């Protein structure tokens, strides 16, 4: 498990030690991580996905993995999916989008391929309601959709007619909670099928990327301020041409996160971020997908992705992925005089912020504990050989840090946290516990932390 340090080491020294260790080895980022929910929707593509009302999680509706479009409503929260049973709901449909109207705390869904291609529905967290409007965009699917927070408007752009057929259009429509209104702009991105769209709150504009017109694919970036569309001159790197990508706004970092999409020859697995001035590609990748679901959850600050086409022509997945800083406990500790020591984090490790570890269930006397930081995890190595009978080691002992304990508890904070987006760090604690075994030591569970912003 590594050697003990006789005194507490300042967080500044820990940072130096860990950074030196990280710099000296091969260390891959892992910002995207596949999740393993106990229950999940069946494999599908073409579903709508967005943040749920009242910050309840990510909401998913519709899609299909077979000839029949689904009318299921699912909620993702805390790492698991739950199928909801609202009294009323839209008929099954695919190639549909929805967004959360933050001012009214309802999800707005429009059209889609299938019955009800020109319907407007709202979901309040408990039930779906069909909204009758005086005017509407008509039968439409494969459009871009966003919610303009500053103006309180749902913004729709492009798409094709009912049944996923017909020629793409270049129309801009807005919904204010009562009616749809077409906005005629001096400029626009042109007729587009399946562009990626989200609202960038820091800019106060809707952002659109890519899309297709017949066999022509685009890599252009446009913004919309409620009056006109403006093409942004991007001089540096940018995502390659594509359509059927998804894009959501990370409000914690003020970036639009774009993932996946396709050309006629390939499906993308890359992730890009738009900060309002330029594009940056993230090193971390996921399973390649298009027509998948994507949502940002402000509470845990995670981008959640589900399903989609994964390979031409018809490979469809039911995988759930998360993108963002996170921590996960794994392994199990060994029994000491005050129970099994438990290592937890009050929140994910944010670069430039705090990395805090809480240790409980230690010997109640004021003693020492050691935190073991590693670059890799181990499959639970028996520590009987060093006198820690019945204990297992789950972390490579790259850096050890001594901390004092009181009343069976200890807290360690590393601030400001250095590192890069997606860096992976593992930790486990060892506590002094006289007489409990030949080594007088107990061990906690381990922590798997992915660093982020």
Computed over every residue of the chain, the mean pLDDT equals: 91
| Two structure tokens written together for 171 | 């129309």
**Lowest-confidence region among 29-38, 39-48, 185-194, 287-296:** 29-38
If asked whether residues 316 and 350 sit together in one domain, one would say: no
> Domain boundary residue among 268, 292, 323?
323
Q: Is 12 helix (H, G, I), strand (E, B) or coil?
A: helix
> Domain boundary residue among 323, 346, 369?
323
> Domain boundary residue among 323, 338, 365?
323
**Lowest-confidence region among 6-20, 59-73, 245-259:** 6-20
Residues 141 and 162: beta-carbon distance below 8 Å: yes
Q: For the purposes of burial, counting CB atoms within 10 Å of the CB of 433, is it exposed (0-12), middle (13-18) or buried (19 or more)?
A: buried
pLDDT on residue 286: 87
Q: Is 184 helix (H, G, I), strand (E, B) or coil?
A: coil
Residue 1 within any structural domain of the chain:
no
Rounded average pLDDT over 125-144: 97
Q: Is 59 helix (H, G, I), strand (E, B) or coil?
A: strand
Which pTM does this prediction carry? Answer: 0.87
CATH of the domain at 355: 2.60.40.10
Question: Rounded distance, CA 339 to CA 122, Å?
Answer: 50
If asked whether residues 308 and 378 sit together in one domain, one would say: no
Give the sign of the dihedral formed by CA 431, CA 434, CA 438, CA 439.
Answer: positive
Q: Say how many C-beta atoms besides its own lie within 10 A of residue 328's C-beta.
A: 14
If asked whether residues 246 and 138 sit together in one domain, one would say: yes
Residue range(s) defining the domain that contains residue 178? 32-323
Identify the helix (H) or strand (E) that includes residue 11.
helix 11-24
| Two structure tokens written together for 162 | 């009912």
Q: What digits encode the pLDDT tens for the residues 59-89?
A: 999 999 888 899 999 999 999 999 999 999 9
Q: Say how many C-beta atoms besides its own lie within 10 A of residue 313's C-beta.
A: 5
Q: Is 333 helix (H, G, I), strand (E, B) or coil?
A: coil
Q: What digits encode the pLDDT tens for the residues 139-183?
A: 999 999 999 999 999 999 999 986 667 899 999 999 999 999 999
If asked whether residues 340 and 400 sit together in one domain, one would say: yes
If asked whether residues 352 and 304 sit together in one domain, one would say: no
Residues 183 and 172: beta-carbon distance below 8 Å: yes
If asked whether residues 137 and 173 sit together in one domain, one would say: yes
pLDDT: is 68 or 106 the higher one?
Answer: 106
| Two structure tokens written together for 362 | 């230690």
If asked whether residues 308 and 353 sit together in one domain, one would say: no
Residue 5 within any structural domain of the chain:
no
pLDDT on residue 31: 82
Question: Residue 400 pairs with which residues in a beta bridge?
Answer: 372
Residue 2 within any structural domain of the chain:
no
pLDDT at 12 over 60: no
Residue 3 within any structural domain of the chain:
no
If asked whether residues 249 and 353 sit together in one domain, one would say: no
Residue 370 within any structural domain of the chain:
yes
Please choose, from the candidates 366, 369, 345, the residue with its C-alpha nearest in 3D space to the C-alpha of residue 356: 345
If asked whether residues 300 and 371 sit together in one domain, one would say: no
Q: Following DSSP, what letter does each residue of 191-257 receive, concatenated?
A: S-BS-EEEEETTTTEEEEE--EETTEE---EEEE-SS-EEEE---S--PPS-BS-EEEEETTTTEEE
**pLDDT band, very low/low/confident/very high, at 20 (cuts 50, 70, 90):** very low
Question: Rounded distance, CA 282 to CA 303, Å?
Answer: 14
Backbone angles phi, psi at 18, to 5 degrees: -65, -40
Residue 4 within any structural domain of the chain:
no
**Lowest-confidence region among 13-27, 98-112, 402-416:** 13-27
Exposure string of 179-213, with b = 16+ CB inside 10 Å and e = fewer, is ebbebebeebbbbbbbbbbbbbeebebbbbbbbbb
Mode of pairing for the β-strands spanning 97-101 and 410-414? unpaired
If asked whether residues 40 and 172 sit together in one domain, one would say: yes
- Write the DSSP symbol of residue 41: P
Please choose, from the candidates 448, 444, 445, the residue with its C-alpha nearest in 3D space to the C-alpha of residue 348: 448
**pLDDT band, very low/low/confident/very high, at 29 (cuts 50, 70, 90):** low
If asked whether residues 165 and 251 sit together in one domain, one would say: yes
Question: Rounded distance, CA 117 to CA 123, Å?
Answer: 17
CATH of the domain at 303: 2.120.10.80
| Two structure tokens written together for 273 | 């971020």
| Two structure tokens written together for 87 | 């009294």
Residues of the chain with pLDDT > 70, as a percent, come to 92
pLDDT on residue 385: 95
pLDDT at 42 over 60: yes
Question: Rounded distance, CA 71 to CA 241, Å?
Answer: 32
Name every residue whose Cβ is closer than 8 Å to that of residue 315 and which is 6 or more positions away in sequence: 309
Residue 280 within any structural domain of the chain:
yes
Q: What digits encode the pLDDT tens for the residues 372-401?
A: 999 999 999 999 999 999 999 999 999 999
Residue 275 within any structural domain of the chain:
yes
Name every residue whose Cβ is closer than 8 Å to that of residue 134 and which is 6 or more positions away in sequence: 179
If asked whether residues 101 and 166 sit together in one domain, one would say: yes
Rounded average pLDDT over 82-110: 97
| Two structure tokens written together for 373 | 């930081």
The total domain count for the chain is 2
- Write the DSSP symbol of residue 376: S
């Amino acid at each position: 498990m590594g050697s003990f340090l006789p005194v507490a080491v300042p967080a500044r020294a820990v940072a130096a030690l860990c950074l030196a260790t990280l710099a000296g080895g091969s260390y891959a980022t892992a910002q995207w991580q596949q999740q393993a929910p106990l229950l999940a929707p069946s494999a599908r593509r073409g579903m709508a996905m967005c943040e749920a009302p009242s910050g309840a999680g990510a909401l998913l509706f519709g899609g299909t993995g077979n000839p029949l479009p689904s009318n299921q409503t699912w909620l993702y929260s805390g790492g698991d999916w739950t199928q909801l049973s609202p009294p009323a709901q839209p008929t099954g449909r695919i190639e549909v989008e929805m967004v959360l109207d933050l001012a009214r705390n309802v999800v707005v869904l429009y059209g889609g391929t299938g019955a009800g291609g020109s319907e407007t529905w709202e979901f309040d967290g408990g039930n779906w309601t069909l909204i009758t409007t005086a005017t509407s965009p008509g039968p439409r699917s494969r459009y871009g959709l966003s919610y303009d927070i500053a103006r309180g408007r749902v913004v729709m752009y492009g798409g094709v007619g009912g049944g996923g057929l017909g020629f793409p259009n270049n129309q801009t429509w807005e919904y204010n909670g009562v009616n749809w209104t077409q906005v005629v702009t001096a400029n626009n991105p042109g007729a587009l099928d399946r562009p990626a769209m989200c609202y960038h709150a820091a800019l106060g504009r809707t952002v659109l990327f890519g899309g297709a017109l017949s066999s022509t694919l685009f890599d252009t970036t446009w913004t919309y301020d409620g009056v006109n569309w403006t093409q942004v001159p991007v001089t540096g790197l940018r995502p390659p041409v594509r359509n059927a990508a998804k894009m959501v706004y990370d409000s914690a970092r003020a970036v639009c996160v774009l993932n996946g999409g396709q050309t006629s020859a390939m499906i993308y697995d890359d992730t890009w971020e738009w900060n309002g001035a330029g594009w940056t590609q993230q090193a971390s990748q996921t399973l390649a997908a298009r027509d998948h679901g994507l949502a940002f959850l402000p509470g845990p600050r995670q981008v959640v992705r589900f399903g989609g086409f994964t390979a031409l022509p018809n490979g469809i997945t039911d995988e759930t992925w998360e993108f963002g800083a996170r921590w996960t406990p794994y392994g199990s500790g060994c029994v000491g005089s005050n129970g099994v020591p438990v290592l937890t984090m009050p929140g994910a490790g944010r670069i430039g912020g705090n990395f805090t570890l809480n240790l409980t269930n230690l010997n109640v006397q004021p003693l020492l504990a050691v935190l073991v930081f590693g670059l890799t995890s181990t499959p639970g190595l028996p520590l009987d050989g060093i006198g820690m009978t019945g204990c297992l080691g789950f972390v490579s002992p790259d850096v050890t840090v001594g901390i004092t304990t009181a009343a069976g508890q200890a807290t360690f904070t590393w601030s400001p946290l250095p590192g890069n987006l997606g860096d992976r760090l593992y930790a486990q604690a060892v506590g002094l516990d006289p007489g409990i075994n030949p080594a007088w030591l107990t061990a906690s569970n381990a922590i798997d932390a992915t660093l982020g912003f």
